[in-house]
Every structure is written in structure tokens, then in C-alpha cells.
Amino acid sequence: MLRVIVLRFFAFILGTLLITFSSLNVAYAADVEAGKMAYAVCAACHGANGEGNVALNSPKIAGQEPWYVRRQLELFRSGARGTAAGDIYGMQMRPMAMSIVDEAAIENLIAYVQTLPVNPPAITVEGDAAAGKVAYAVCAACHGANAEGLEQLGGPRLAGQEDWYLVRQINNFKLGRRGYHASDIFGAQMKPMASILVDDQAINNVTAYINSLR
């Protein structure tokens, strides 16, 4: 009986190890070259180096955490983002995300984006960074003290993102254009936080402080 229990235990451990190693292999199996080819479509709006393009209303994606890029692509693909009335730029992005055919293609694309150079964008938003620092104390709980992002709490990296895009997304949360879908749990968490910033000046102030964290 003891021998059977021991054998079952080792079988369990072996199975767990196999699953773990299999998961690791999947995680590192992304094809960067395939991702580079797929990114040619993305580059039209997000830039050849993922630097973003304000004229095309496309944010910087170089330097963003892969888990966050993955989540947003999945939200666009599922209709949990880019389907709210008034979110015209989100609606532009949704068919692009839907053109990524499967999970492997998503991983390939993300792997390529991670190779792009990360450069600080131009500062376009003016505000009182000192006042913004006070307001940011609430944001830090999820986004990190230095806006570096906290995956465990679902808060993406904000430092180094284009400031005009941060302003737009805060307004999108306030207007119900993001975080409106039941499956967007982290977006729903962000909506009441965005509402704390009561006006455009408060939004600009916190954005100016985030600019200082780059």
C-alpha cells in the first residue's frame, strides 16, 4: 500500500513538472520574426518602432509590459473594448486586433514589440506636477510608486507613455468608454479612480507628474 502511495506521489510530481516545463516552453516559443511580419500592419498607426503617432491617435506601445499588451488585445478581440459609443479610436483598433488570428499570433506579435527601442515621448501636456503628485498617491496603489506598473494589481506601466494618450484614457474611463464590459475587471476598477480627477486641470496635473517619472 505504501509503495502504491509513493509511486502515485512521484507520478504526481512528474506530471506537475511536465506541465510546468510545457508551460515554460510555450512561454518561450514565440516567433519574433513572425511577429515582425505581423507588426507591419500595426506600424502604419503605432510607428515603425512602436513609438506612437498622435496624428493617427495611436499610443506608444514600445516599453509597455507584455501582459498588459496581451490583455488589451484580448479585450479588443472579444468586444470588451472598442465597442462603446463615442470611443471612435477604440473602434478603429478593434478590427486590427481581430485580424490577429490566434493566441500564437498574439504571442509572436508581443515578442516582437518587446524588441523595439524604448525612447521617451515628447511632453505635450502642461500641469502642476506638485499637485499631481498628491493626486497620484491613490494611483500608486495599483500603478506603482514610480508608475512602473504592477501586474498583480492589474495596473499597467504609465511612466514613459505619451501624455496625450493618458489624458484621453482617463476621460474614456470617466465617460464609460472603457471599463464598461463585465469581463473587463481591471477596467471596472479604474473607472471610480478616474472619477476622482474631477476636471481637466486635475487630469493634466496628474499627467504632468507622471511625465516627471520617466
- Residues 198-209: pLDDT tens digits? 999 999 999 999
Q: Do both 176 and 211 map to the same domain?
A: yes
Same domain for 68 and 96, yes or no, is: yes
Contact between 122 and 214 under an 8 Å Cβ cutoff? The reply is no
Percent of the chain with pLDDT over 70: 87
Cβ pair 113, 47 in contact under 8 A: no
- pLDDT over 90 percentage in the chain: 85
Q: pLDDT-based confidence at 214, cuts 50/70/90? A: confident
CATH number at residue 180: 1.10.760.10
Same domain, 124 and 47: no
Q: Are 75 and 138 in the same domain?
A: no
Domain total in the chain: 3
Residues 101 and 165 in one domain: no
State residue 31's pLDDT score. Answer: 95
Residue pair 208/125 in contact (Cβ under 8 Å)? The answer is: yes
Identify whether residues 128 and 139 lie together within a single domain. yes
Instruction: Evaluate if residue 145 carries a pLDDT over 70.
Output: yes
pLDDT digits (tens, 9 = 90+) for 4-45: 333 343 343 334 443 343 334 444 579 999 999 999 999 999
Domain holding 22, by residue range, is 1-29
Residues 210 and 175 in one domain: yes
Helix, strand, coil shares of the chain, percent, nearest 5, are 60, 0, 35
pLDDT score of 103 more than 80: yes
Is residue 138 located within the same domain as residue 204? yes
Shared-domain flag, residues 111 and 139: no
Q: Which of 119, 143, 176 is the last residue of a domain?
A: 119
Do both 195 and 154 map to the same domain? yes
Dihedral Cα 87, 157, 163, 211, nearest 10 deg: 160
Structural contact between residues 206 and 132, judged by C-beta atoms closer than 8 angstroms:
yes
Summary mean pLDDT of the chain: 89
Q: What is the mean pLDDT of residues 149-169?
A: 97
* DSSP result, 53-95: BGGGTB---TTS-HHHHHHHHHHHHHTSSS-STT-HHHHHHHH
Domain boundary among 119, 147, 163: 119
pLDDT of res. 118: 96
75-100: pLDDT as tens digits: 999 999 999 999 999 999 999 999 99
**Taking a C-beta distance cutoff of 8 angstroms, is the pair 184, 190 a contact?**
no
**Mean pLDDT lowest for which of 15-29, 112-126, 184-198?**
15-29
| 24 Cβ contact partners less than 8 Å away, ≥ 6 residues apart | none
Looking at the structure, do residues 45 and 23 belong to the same domain, yes or no?
A: no
pTM: 0.85
Same domain, 23 and 38: no
Give the pLDDT confidence score for residue 106 in this predicted structure: 97
Cα 12 to its chain centre, rounded Å, is 36
